[in-house]
Amino acid sequence: MKILRPIAIVAASLTLAQAAFAQAQPTPPAADNKPAAKKEAPKEKRAPTAAKKQAPAASPAPTATPAPAPTTTQAPPSVFDDPNVDLVYGAYQRGMYKTAFDLAMNRAQYNGDPKAMTMLGELYANAMGVKRDYAKAAEWYKKAADAGDREAMFALAMMRLSGRGGASNREEAVKLLASSAKLGSPKAAYNLALLYLEGQTLPQDVRRAAELLRVAADAGNPEAQYALATFYKEGTGVPKDPEKAVRLLQAASLAGNVDAEVEYAIAMFNGSGTPKNQPAAVALLRKAARQNSPIAQNRLARVLAFGTGVQQDKVEALKWHWIAKTSGKGDPELDEYLADVPAADRARAEEAGRKWLGGK
C-alpha cells in the first residue's frame, strides 16, 4: 500500500501570512566596545508557515514618535563595563521582562547599543514587561536597524509588511529584508524568498527564491528546509532531486517542523528517496498527529484501519479519523471502510477522541 502525498509547488501556496506578523527574537545586546557572543533567542511558535499544501488525494494509506526621555538621569550600572556580563538578555531569557526593559533602556540610551534597541522593540511589540506599543517598537527597531542590527531590520520589515506601528510599506520592507539577509539572517532570506514566489511586491522569480531558501536552509531554518524540499521534490527552480528533498525534510523534521514530519513519514512509508521504513514512518505520523496535524491524523487513521506497517486497530483508527474530521480533514473512503465498527466501539473511539481534544 502506498501513501500518495504530492507536494504541489505554486506561488500561491507559499504565503507570508504568519511570517508577516512574526517579531524578531533579539540576540544578546553587546557590552561596551566588545560584542557579546551572539545567541539565538527562543524561537517563536508559529503555525507554519511556510508552505501550506493541499491535502493529498485519498488513498488507503497516509500520504514613530521619539521615545520619552527617562525621568531620571542616573548613570547606567557599572556592571555594563564588564563585557562578560549580559544582564539584559539573561533577564529576557528568564522571563524577567520588566528588568530586561529597564536594563535595555539604560544600555540603549547611555551606550547607544543596537542590540539593546532591538530588545526594546521586541518588548514593546510583544507587551513584555511594558504595555504593547507598536509605534514605539517600530521606532526602536528603526534605530537599531540604522545602526546595522540585522534582527532589527528583519523585525521592522515584518512590521512594514503588516502595517503595524505605521503605514504598510512593502518597498521599504523589501530593502530591509535584503539588507538583513545580506548580513546573514536566515529569517530574512526565507521571507524574501516568499516575496519572490508571491510575485506581487517583487517580480516572480522561482530561481532567486530557491537561492534564498538555500541560504536560509543551510543556516538551519526549518521552514526554509521544508520549502526547499518541495522545490527539489518537484524540480521547481532547481533540478529535481528526490534524495535531496528527503534529506531536507529529515532536517526540518528533526527541528520540529510538523509539516516536514508528515512529508518525511510519507517518504519513509513509500520508500521515496529514502529506504522504506514503515514502522518508523508510522511512529513519526503518530508524533505529528499528536501535534494536531489533521493530515497526519488522517494518515495515521488509514494505516491503523488497514493494518499496514502497524497492527490493525479499527477503534484507534476511528478515534484519529474522528479527530481529523473535527479539524476539517474528512475522508469519505475511510467513513465507508469503518462503517462496520460496532456501535459500542464507535462510541468508545469518539469518547477517546473527545478526551484527547479536551486534554490538548
Residues 271-314: tens digit of each pLDDT: 999 999 999 999 999 999 999 999 999 999 999 999 988 999 99
Whether pLDDT at 48 is above 90: no
Q: Residue 359 — very low, low, confident or very high, per pLDDT cuts 50/70/90?
A: low
pLDDT at 255 over 90: yes
Residue of 128, 140, 130, 134 lying closest to 95 (CA atoms): 128
Q: How far apart are CA 213 and CA 42, in angstroms?
A: 21
The rounded distance, in Å, linking the Cα atoms of 258 and 252 is: 8
In DSSP notation, 151-182 reads HHHHHHHHHHHHTTTS---HHHHHHHHHHHHH
Contact status, residue 237 vs residue 207, Cβ threshold 8 Å: yes
Show Cβ contacts of residue 191 under 8 Å, excluding neighbours closer than 6 positions: 16, 19, 20, 154, 157, 158, 177
One-letter amino acid of 34: K
Question: 299 near 3, Cβ under 8 Å?
Answer: yes
Q: Which residue has the higher pLDDT, 71 or 245?
A: 245
- Work out the burial of residue 135: count CB atoms within 10 Å of its CB; fewer than 13 is exposed, 13-18 middle, 19 or more buried: middle
Q: What is the mean pLDDT of the chain?
A: 82
Q: Which CATH architecture has domain 11-276?
A: Alpha Horseshoe (1.25)
Cell of 114: 543596537
What DSSP designation does 27 have? Answer: P
User: CA-based diameter of the chain, in Å?
Assistant: 77
- Give the pLDDT score at 358: 87
Q: Any alpha helices (H) in the chain, and if so which ranges? A: 87-93, 97-106, 114-125, 134-146, 150-162, 170-182, 186-198, 206-218, 222-234, 242-254, 258-270, 278-290, 294-306, 314-326, 332-337, 343-358
Rounded to an integer, the average pLDDT of 243-261 is: 97
CB proximity list for 148: less than 8 A, separation 6 or greater = 114, 183
H-run or E-run covering 81: none
pTM of the model: 0.74
The set of residues, in sequence order, having a beta carbon less than 8 Å from that of 305 and lying 6+ positions away, is 312, 314, 317, 318, 321, 334, 337, 338
Per the document, the length of the chain is 360
pLDDT in tens, 151-209: 999 999 999 999 999 899 999 999 999 999 999 999 999 999 999 999 989 999 999 99
At residue 173, the pLDDT reads 97
What is the rounded distance in angstroms from the CA atom of residue 242 to the CA atom of residue 113? 46
CA distances from 4 to 63, 268, 310 (A): 4, 12, 18
Mean pLDDT across 223-229: 97
Q: What are the domain boundaries of the chain? A: 11-276
